[in-house]
Amino acid sequence: MAPKNFSSCINSIWILLFVFGVASAQLTPDFYDKTCPGAFAAIDKVVRAAIANESRMGASLLRLQFHDCFVDGCDGSVLLDDTPTMKGEKTAAPNNNSLRGFDVIDRIKAEVESLCPGVVSCADIVIITARDSVVALGGPYWTVLLGRRDSLIANFSGANTDIPAPTLNLSGLITSFANKGLSASDLVTLNGAHTVGEARCINYRNRIYNETNIDPSYAAPLRAICPITGGDNNLAPLDTETPAVFDNDIYKDMMMEKGLLHSDQQFYNGGSTDSQVEGYSKNPEAFAADFGNAMIKMGNISPLTGTSGQIRLNCRKVN
Ligand code: HEM
Ligand SMILES: *[C@@H]1O[C@H](CO)[C@@H](O)[C@H](O)[C@H]1NC(C)=O
Ligand SMILES: *[C@@H]1O[C@H](CO)[C@@H](O)[C@H](O)[C@H]1NC(C)=O
Ligand SMILES: *[C@@H]1O[C@H](CO)[C@@H](O)[C@H](O)[C@H]1NC(C)=O
Ligand SMILES: *[C@@H]1O[C@H](CO)[C@@H](O)[C@H](O)[C@H]1NC(C)=O
Ligand SMILES: *[C@@H]1O[C@H](CO)[C@@H](O)[C@H](O)[C@H]1NC(C)=O
């Protein structure tokens, strides 16, 4: 219907603005299909090379999505280096001497910039990289939603307060996820990411010396790796059997009191989430499908879209 006079013309413009505004604020799977179709293959190639070189890198890249999205939303803030005027998130307690994969993200960004300069955000690279890592480790594929833009700031104190600590009990973990719009069920599903990767002694020491809901035959050899004093950075696998394969073993571990972190064992400790753990331990397909959906849901936390933020040229600093 063509506008007949000035007023209906103005109305049409408002309708267009509204439709465009809503569309641009929405993440979509095809966001780069016209502007950078080669990005996906380029990203996957770097991810696979990094994992072929060191299998743990897949776990490290997966974790980056969690630590980015939980601090002011999925906006690439976790990738920013410190500046004289801004303390980045990299040295916040959950990240310091722990978060890895920044060099791989740099290599990906360089590849993607050479293909299509100034188009693909660092925030979206984190999301695509997490998915590709899970696939490379034998886990499920999911369709990522894209169109995020990059933050102009990092949030050191937000990283300290909003990323849950492994010392929390079940209700504390549920609250920290609820604060981000994620359910207790999402929490149990997403913690399945601990089917890959490793943790430092400092994060499991108290558990292997002091806790009672742990299999003694599991704790004993861990004490050799992680002494009562010293060796804070000594690593142990989060999944007892296959720390480089994305499978459902972590749920079987929980049922045998072989969760490495205090937090891991909370999900099978006589509480409300036991049945979900049991279900996933028997049904790897259900876990795989739920995991992809929960990653998409986590990826939807407060993205910057439209003209907010920017497309960083270097993921470590604002343009
Ligand atoms: C439920 C709350 C969670 C807590 C308390 C937690 C805590 C931790 C801790 C303490 C570590 C070991 C870090 C270190 O010792 O340096 C770790 C590692 C890891 N986390 Fe979580 N995490 C949680 C949820 C998640 C989620 C939702 C994901 C991703 C979807 C994730 C992915 C990983 C991965 C893959 C590793 C291994 C990283 C590597 O080897 O480099 N975690 N987590
Ligand atoms: C390969 O992995 C080792 C650690 O195992 C690391 O020191 C090295 O930088 C990695 N090389 C590349 C190109 O990623
Ligand atoms: C991060 O770790 C380094 C090396 O252990 C330490 O010197 C530094 O104080 C830590 N930073 C913060 C902010 O805790
Ligand atoms: C940093 O994170 C905290 C905790 O979520 C939040 O209250 C605060 O507004 C954030 N600061 C900025 C500048 O985004
Ligand atoms: C969980 O931890 C919180 C804070 O430390 C505490 O107030 C609460 O009583 C604990 N809940 C249970 C069920 O242990
Ligand atoms: C065991 O718990 C006690 C009391 O909380 C604490 O002082 C001690 O440091 C813990 N031991 C280890 C090895 O973490």
Residue nearest to atom 13 of ligand 5 (CA): 171
Distance CA 59, CA 62 (A): 5
In total, how many domains does the chain have? 2
Residue 185 structure tokens: 């069920």
206 lines ligand 6 (CB under 6 A): yes
> What digits encode the pLDDT tens for the residues 230-274?
999 999 999 998 999 999 999 999 999 999 999 999 999 999 999
Q: Which of 167, 171, 175 to mutate to test the pocket of ligand 5 (most atoms within 8 A of CB)?
A: 171
Answer yes or no: do 204 and 292 share one domain.
yes
Answer yes or no: do 180 and 122 share one domain.
no
Determine, yes or no, domain membership for 308: no
Catalytic annotation, pick one of 40, 42, 44, 67: 67
- Res. 12: pLDDT tops 50: no
**Which string of DSSP letters, residue by residue, matches 7-74?**
HHHHHHHHHHHHHHHHHHTS-BTTTTTTT-TTHHHHHHHHHHHHHHH-THHHHHHHHHHHHHHTTTSS
Final residue of a structural domain among 113, 135, 164: 164
Q: Return the DSSP state at 82.
A: P
150 CB-contact burial (10 Å; exposed 0-12 / middle 13-18 / buried 19+): buried
Is the separation of the CB atoms in 277 and 248 below 8 Å?
A: no
Determine, yes or no, domain membership for 226: yes
Atom of ligand 5 minimally distant from the CA of 171: 1
| Alpha carbon of 194 to ligand 1 centroid (Å) | 6
Q: Which amino acid is at 63?
A: R
Determine, yes or no, domain membership for 1: no
Nearest to 204 by CA among 166, 171, 230: 166
Q: Which amino acid is at 15?
A: I
Distance CA 47, CA 251 (A): 26
218 lines ligand 6 (CB under 6 A): no
Pairing of strands 198-200, 235-237: antiparallel
169 lines ligand 5 (CB under 6 A): yes
Q: Which of 47, 55, 66 to mutate to test the pocket of ligand 1 (most atoms within 8 A of CB)?
A: 66
CATH of the domain at 232: 1.10.420.10
Nearest to 96 by CA among 58, 67, 125: 67
Atom of ligand 4 minimally distant from the CA of 159: 2
Determine, yes or no, domain membership for 27: no
- Res. 109: pLDDT tops 90: yes
Q: Which residues line ligand 1 (CB under 6 A)?
A: 56, 59-60, 62-63, 66, 98, 100, 164-166, 173, 187, 190-191, 193-194, 196-200, 203, 261, 263
Containing structural domain, residue 182 = 170-297
> What digits encode the pLDDT tens for the residues 146-190?
999 999 999 999 999 999 999 999 999 999 999 999 999 999 999
75 annotated to bind ligand: yes
- Res. 114: pLDDT tops 60: yes
CA 308 to centroid of chain Cα atoms = 22
Among all chains, which residue has been given the structure tokens 């690593």? 235
Answer yes or no: do 154 and 174 share one domain.
no
Q: What's this model's pTM, rounded to 2 decimal places?
A: 0.94
Q: Which of 54, 56, 102, 105 to mutate to test the pocket of ligand 2 (most atoms within 8 A of CB)?
A: 54
Answer yes or no: do 128 and 201 share one domain.
no
Answer yes or no: do 104 and 194 share one domain.
no
| Alpha carbon of 203 to ligand 5 centroid (Å) | 19
Determine, yes or no, domain membership for 28: no
* Average model confidence (pLDDT) across the chain: 93
* pLDDT of res. 213: 98
* pLDDT of res. 25: 59
Distance CA 53, CA 62 (A): 16
Answer yes or no: do 211 and 245 share one domain.
yes
- Res. 7: pLDDT tops 70: no
Helix (H, G, I), strand (E, B) or coil at 268: coil
> What digits encode the pLDDT tens for the residues 18-33?
444 343 458 999 999 9
Determine, yes or no, domain membership for 30: no
Atom of ligand 6 minimally distant from the CA of 206: 14
Determine, yes or no, domain membership for 10: no
* pLDDT of res. 26: 87
Is the separation of the CB atoms in 56 and 286 below 8 Å?
A: no
**10-19, 81-90, 134-143, 297-306: which has the minimum mean pLDDT?**
10-19
The backbone torsions φ and ψ at residue 310, rounded to the nearest 5 degrees and listed phi first, read -155, 175
CA 258 to centroid of chain Cα atoms = 23
Answer yes or no: do 49 and 157 share one domain.
yes
- pLDDT level of residue 199 (50, 70, 90 thresholds): very high
Q: Is 67 a catalytic residue?
A: yes
Answer yes or no: do 190 and 126 share one domain.
no
CA 312 to centroid of chain Cα atoms = 20
- Res. 208: pLDDT tops 60: yes
> What digits encode the pLDDT tens for the residues 66-99?
999 999 999 999 999 999 999 999 999 999 999 9
| Alpha carbon of 189 to ligand 2 centroid (Å) | 30
- pLDDT level of residue 13 (50, 70, 90 thresholds): very low
Determine, yes or no, domain membership for 98: yes
Residue 227 structure tokens: 């002494």
CATH of the domain at 148: 1.10.520.10
Answer yes or no: do 127 and 222 share one domain.
no
- pLDDT level of residue 306 (50, 70, 90 thresholds): very high
